[in-house]
Structure 1
């Protein structure tokens, strides 16, 4: 059996996955890595920074986590990326599980995740080249592009397992919360909207959330981030994120919506 991912498909799939994982996806190993100081000009590192304890959950408290104290969630407030990055990282990893609904260019579907007591996730997606499913359970990465699941192993002599391992690792590493902080830090300043807005959630309910936009395009690990916005509630719960990114000559806009934060989830591995 061979994975149906050729050069053309990879060129379409990888940018979409990068765009999706840039959106502070809640799927991440635990404990979370510490925010890294980002040099003015740096090359991507192969692995996340050293681990530190995961922040306590915030879903049961209306108080902002300590990392968010420097961030003014007020109409028209301008905040530094260096402050906003650790704040967003804290509120995302502060919930131990959830569901992400993806909509956008050549990528749609859901990701169910948890990272306590161990990091597990499953993504069931539709891409421009057809269905894509990923699971990471008990440290085993699996990928299915419609021809059946393949165990991901970048060191394998089997090219299918190599591709599955590379694709899965791209999703897993970029979704690490340590990268969340670094990603937001690279945007020098961000501005809170003039008023909270009402957003419709997947369960049919609505919530008021504040939109926070990057003030200018920027680059992160040589990936152009043309636009980036996040929405959080007064209680500092993440609601939505949207980014437009460029990668390998392609521009992709992806929206992620959070739901079921802190709910018990069942992660079923592929197979």
Structure 2
């Protein structure tokens, strides 16, 4: 495996896991993630995670109480604390789905489940190089084209140790408490006065409420100049966008969620 590819994935892991309710650019016109929407790594009969009864049709889904208690209306201002609780629960309540993401020149698409624990599988492209990743039962596999490498913190192989370190990042940042902390770090969030049309990667058009942090804020020492959340009229997670600075470098991270509640199965690579 090329170490640079692994380091790129490590840098993107924060963006991939903390945007909590999905992120997409305001114009929603980027085609790169869409081109990868149906790409997943080759799999075997090894242990797997799959959405079960938690997966559901959109018509049967109901938003968590932490969301319905919020005022989802034009021009409203929401407190960061309660909104953080809502955001941290909304996506997981679907049980499964797909997500496209971009962070600078990096972009990709993954399928995910929350049953019983967070698992994810898909691809990411960094500097023109495609990386396949799987996170299952606390273990990470990464394949940059030379075969999957399984993370092992006790290994004498430095690449396996690095992959295991990425897995530890996933364990930390996939925790819903981390999501709640991120959103609540902005004291106030303002909702726009009109719905925004969002086109998802599966071609579906969604009328979404756009809410934005009212001022710059800091999260775990990371300056966030702006963060935007998009939710459907029933609190369905649609997207997020965050502009932040890390190690003196400014970047804009986007995510978009789609096919929420549809069956997903994630297996260990062969």
TM interval, shorter chain, is: 0.7 to 0.9
Using the TM superposition, name which of 80-89 and 15-24 deviates more.
15-24
Question: Contact (CA 8 Å) 1:241, 1:257: kept in 2 or not?
Answer: yes
- The 4+ residue runs of structure 1 with deviation greater than 3 A are 12-15, 55-64
Equivalent residue runs for 1:192-211 within 5 Å: 192-211=191-210
Instruction: Output aligned runs, 1:88-167, within 5 Å.
Output: 88-128=87-127, 130-167=129-166
Shift, 1:60, TM fit:
4.3
| Higher mean C-alpha deviation, range 218-227 or range 89-98 | 218-227
Deviations 1:104-132 (A, max 9, x none): 41221111011113432113100136222
Q: Which ranges in structure 1 are unaligned for 5 or more consecutive residues?
A: 27-54
Secondary structure of the 1:245 match is strand
Whole-angstrom CA distance in 2 between matches of 1:19 and 1:262: 22
Which gives a bigger RCO, structure 1 or 2 (Cα 8 Å, sep 6+)?
A: 2
Alignment correspondent of 1:228:
227
**CA pair 176-57 structure 1, distance change in 2 beyond 3 A:** farther
Take 1:102 and 1:223, find their aligned partners in 2: how far apart are those partners? 20
CA distance in 2, matches of 1:58, 1:228: 29
Give the match's secondary structure for 1:187: coil
- Which deviates more from structure 2 when the two are superposed, residues 216-225 or residues 93-102? 216-225
RMSD: 2.5
With the length of structure 2 as denominator, give the TM-score of the two structures: 0.80
Deviations 1:199-252 (A, max 9, x none): 112222211100111111111111222211110011111011111121122222
Distance 1:58 1:243, change over 3 A: farther
CA distance in 2, matches of 1:179, 1:138: 19
- Distance in 1, matches of 2:143 and 2:257, equals 24
In structure 2, C-alpha distance between the alignment counterparts of 1:77 and 1:270, rounded to whole Å: 46
Deviation at 1:76, TM superposition (A): 1.0
Give the structure-1-normalised TM-score.
0.80
What is the CA distance between 1:154 and its match in structure 2?
A: 2.4
1:56–1:9 Cα change, 3 Å:
closer
Q: Distance in 2 between matches of 1:56 and 1:264?
A: 6
Residues in 2 aligned to 1:206 and 1:101: alpha-carbon distance in whole angstroms? 16
Following superposition, the deviation at residue 62 of structure 1 comes to 6.8
Corresponding residue of 1:248: 247
Q: Residues of 2 paired with 1:25 and 1:150: CA distance?
A: 29
Any unmatched runs of 5+ in structure 2?
23-53
Q: SS of the counterpart of 1:236?
A: coil
Kindly indicate whether the alpha-carbon contact (under 8 Å) linking 1:134 and 1:168 is maintained by their aligned counterparts in 2: no
Contact 1:65 1:90 in 2 (8 A): yes
